[in-house]
Amino acid sequence: MLTAAVALLGSACGTNRPDIPAYLLEDDAGTTAGYPSGPYAKSISDALPIADISFQKGWLNPKAEGYDPAKLVPIKLSDFYDPDGTKGHEILLFNTAAGWCGACKNEHEGTGSNPSLGEHAAALAPRGFVVLSALFEDGSFNPAQEKHLVSWAKTYETDFPFVLDPENQLGGTFGVDQTAPLNLVVDAKTMKVLFGTTGDKGAVIWPFVEGELEKRGK
């Protein structure tokens, strides 16, 4: 169906063909065409691609959008897939957070000599590093709502991709739906999970990220 639709656009528009609508670049399951096929990782130790999870509401840069809930947009993990390097992405960090999670708050705020998640993201961005964080529950263990996403983003001045995940799709995929934070280091060119951990493990995560960037000459 996709091939036929693209061919039809080409024959109708010739060399002046407009951009192909995004929906035609998705398969029937909503996954971007060309995204790595399964089997997908089901545990943090699986060196396999991560499934393309879709979040209905999020910001690519909450701070730049003024933390405005009217500017929330759908975001998918495949938005960060960069097989040919055209987006400049090398290493991705997919992170979960919850209102009841002290370690999550420490990650986003930074503690003592430990930089915040946002500070790490900003410092490593020129080398192709991208963070996406997903808020899944509030402080009472209930599914997170827009107001919680806004409050969290304002509190920690979040300026990297931040999404609402009330079904905890990210954590649930890896069987850690009641454990936070989950941190997954992912290769942007293959979407394979390179390293995964739960809890306050910054002392392990950041040297690993640095090492992976160095391997890629970044």
Mean pLDDT score of the chain: 89
Q: What gap in Å lies between CA 87 and CA 74, rounded to an integer?
A: 19
Side-chain half-sphere exposure of 41, counting CA atoms within 13 A: 26
So what's the pLDDT on residue 148? 99
Instruction: Find out whether the peptide bond into 18 is cis, omega within 30 degrees of 0.
Output: no
Structural domain containing residue 8: 1-30
Confidence of residue 48 (pLDDT cuts 50, 70, 90): very high
Which of these ranges, 16-25, 36-45, 129-138, has the smallest mean pLDDT? 16-25
* pLDDT 10s digits, 142-201: 999 999 999 999 999 999 999 999 999 999 999 998 899 999 999 999 999 999 999 999
Task: Clarify whether residues 2 and 67 are in a common domain.
Answer: no
Confidence of residue 32 (pLDDT cuts 50, 70, 90): low
132: its two tokens: 């996406």
Helix axes 102-109, 146-156, angle to 10 degrees: 50
Task: Clarify whether residues 116 and 197 are in a common domain.
Answer: yes
Q: What does the pLDDT average to over 3-11?
A: 36
Task: Clarify whether residues 74 and 51 are in a common domain.
Answer: yes
Task: Clarify whether residues 209 and 183 are in a common domain.
Answer: yes
Task: Clarify whether residues 121 and 199 are in a common domain.
Answer: yes
CATH number, residue 163: 3.40.30.10
* pLDDT 10s digits, 56-76: 999 999 999 999 999 999 999
Q: What gap in Å lies between CA 126 and CA 80, rounded to an integer?
A: 15
* pLDDT 10s digits, 71-125: 999 999 999 999 999 999 999 999 999 999 999 999 999 998 899 999 999 999 9
Q: What gap in Å lies between CA 107 and CA 201, rounded to an integer?
A: 10
pLDDT reading at 210 higher than 80 = yes
Q: What gap in Å lies between CA 62 and CA 153, rounded to an integer?
A: 7
Q: What gap in Å lies between CA 69 and CA 84, rounded to an integer?
A: 33
So what's the pLDDT on residue 112? 87
Residue 129, number of CB atoms within 10 A of its CB: 25
The structure's pTM equals 0.85
| Domains contained in the chain, number | 2
